[in-house]
Amino acid sequence: MMILGIETSCDETSCALIKEGGRLVRQALFSQTELHQTFKGVVPEIASRSHLEKINELVEQMIQGNQKIDGIAVTIGPGLVGSLLIGKMTAEALGWVWDVPVVGINHLEAHLYSSFLEHKELKPPFMGAIVSGGHTHLVLVEDFGKYKVLGRTRDDSAGEAYDKVAKLLGLDYPGGPIIDRLAKKGDPTAIPFPRAHLPGSWDFSFSGLKTAVLYFLQNLTNKGGLKIESLPLPLKTVADICASFQSAVVDVLVRKTISAAKKFGLKKIAVGGGVSANSFLRSELIKKGKENKLKVYFPSLPYSTDNGAMVALTGYYKFKKGFYDAKNQEPLEVNPSLPIKNWN
């Protein structure tokens, strides 16, 4: 079985091929980061136009040498509606021309399975943590396509908090990797930023932390007779803010994920989404996992952020289990706020 995966939900255009055994054959990816950098965030119109310009070229790279395709998997949500539509229309057109079935994929599920690309021993059940630019979810994965969403963010996602704090500090977009880098030079105990542990719930909240960073900056700049716009601050101060902010985010993510895994009697944790690329989150979760006899899985860095391989892989599992929208049935629907649903 050879599955073509198509991902266009946000600012990465990516295609990949997955073969029997869920093995990656190849992937092509175009990142739009540079196009959005001047705006310090993703501009939906620019994103969809860029997907349209790139998608055919990436598909061609997948089918070189007359590669036969047996099925197509495409992200249909959550994401930006215009961007999702480019992927969906491409998948439907190719499915019609090649006469192969097309399956719609939930982007969050794809992040949940991204660790499976490289860790072939990983199987459900496991505690899934999705930490992306748009979402922060704790999901009990009982089996392929069988989930219990335990908690989600009540306001900003972890990635959004990183990007917004980076913006406050006058740093570039996306802020996550920059804060990750700067935090290595700072003191994580320098500023006691608040942690929203929300006892009794598996939900998250990061907007209070973001506001605390804003107030801290306002206070700092007022005291120095400066305006917040007069950033950049001294590098050491920025590094301390980054390290202290990151420590607050990671503290909450690690504690809740470990507690949830223990509470539900699981032995494995799999993390996915852009923030899973974070070096401090990785080291802390692995360390705390070991202390609690839990095995923690992360995708390698290229598969932590958005990529076509995880979409093709999720499609492969769905095709294998017979869950796909048969040919010539109702057209696929994109849904910008698609929830995680069980397959049956």
| Residue numbers at the binding site for ligand KG4 (CB under 6 A) | 10, 132-134, 159, 162-163, 174-177, 180, 273-275, 277-278, 305-306
Q: How far is the CB of 178 from ligand KG4 (least distance, A)?
A: 8
**Rounded Cα distance, 301 and 276, in Å:** 8
Residue 166 contacts residue 172 (beta carbons within 8 Å): yes
Residue 124: cis peptide before it, omega within 30 degrees of 0: no
User: Which of 83/95 has CB closer to ligand KG4?
Assistant: 83
Q: Please, which residue, 243 or 309, has the CB nearer to Zn ion?
A: 309
Closest to ligand KG4 by CB, 182 vs 212, is 182
Residue 163 binds which one of Zn ion, ligand KG4, none, with CB within 5 to 8 A depending on kind?
A: ligand KG4
**Nearer Cβ to ligand KG4 (133/308):** 133
Q: Of these partners, ligand KG4, Zn ion, none, which one is at the site of residue 75 (CB under 5 to 8 Å by kind)?
A: none
Of positions 48, 114, 132, 244, contacts Zn ion by CB under 5 A: 132
180 contacts Zn ion (rule: CB under 5 A): no
Number of residues that bind Zn ion (CB under 5 A): 2
Q: Which does 188 bind (CB under 5 to 8 A by kind): ligand KG4, Zn ion, none?
A: none
Footprint of Zn ion on residues 59-78 (CB under 5 A)? none
Measured from the CB of residue 34, what is the shortest distance to ligand KG4 in angstroms? 15
Pick 86 or 294: Cβ nearer Zn ion = 86
- Full 3-state SS string of the chain: CCEEEEECCCCEEEEEEEEHHHEEEEEEEEECHHHHHCCCCCCHHHHHHHHHHHHHHHHHHHCCCCCCCCEEEEEEECCCHHHHHHHHHHHHHHHHHHCCCEEEEEHHHHHHHHHHHCCCCCCCCEEEEEECCCCEEEEEEEECCEEEEEEEECCCCHHHHHHHHHHHCCCCCCHHHHHHHHHCCCCCCCCCCCCCCCCCCCCECCHHHHHHHHHHHHHHHHHCCCCHHHCCCCHHHHHHHHHHHHHHHHHHHHHHHHHHHHHCCCCEEEEECHHHHCHHHHHHHHHHHHHCCCEEECCCHHHCCCCHHHHHHHHHHHHHCCCCECCCCCCCCCCCCCCCCCCC
Closer CB to Zn ion, residue 132 or residue 257?
132
Q: Residue 68: phi, psi to the nearest 5?
A: -85, 135
Q: Which is nearer to ligand KG4, 175 or 188 (CB)?
A: 175
Q: Toward Zn ion, which CB reaches closer, 240 or 306?
A: 306
109 contributes a contact to Zn ion by CB under 5 A: no
* Partner in contact with 22, chosen from Zn ion, ligand KG4, none, beta carbon below 5 to 8 Å by kind: none
From the CB of 132, what's the least distance to ligand KG4, in Å?
A: 3
**N-terminal to C-terminal alpha carbon distance within the chain:** 22
Q: At its nearest, how many Å lie between ligand KG4 and the CB of residue 157?
A: 7
**Rounded Cα gap, residues 310 and 303, in angstroms:** 7
- Which entry of ligand KG4, Zn ion, none binds 71, CB below 5 to 8 A by partner kind? none
- Does 257 bind Zn ion (CB under 5 A)? Our answer is no
Closest CB to ligand KG4 among residues 79, 95: 79
Strands 136-143 and 71-77: unpaired
Rule CB under 5 A: is residue 163 a binding residue for Zn ion? Answer: no
Per partner kind, with CB cut-offs from 5 to 8 A, the member of Zn ion, ligand KG4, none near residue 261 is none
Closest approach, Cβ 81 to ligand KG4, in A, equals: 15
300-319 residues near Zn ion, rule: CB under 5 A: 306
Phi, psi of 105 (to 5 degrees): -120, 135
* Residue ranges that bind Zn ion, judged by CB under 5 A: 132, 306
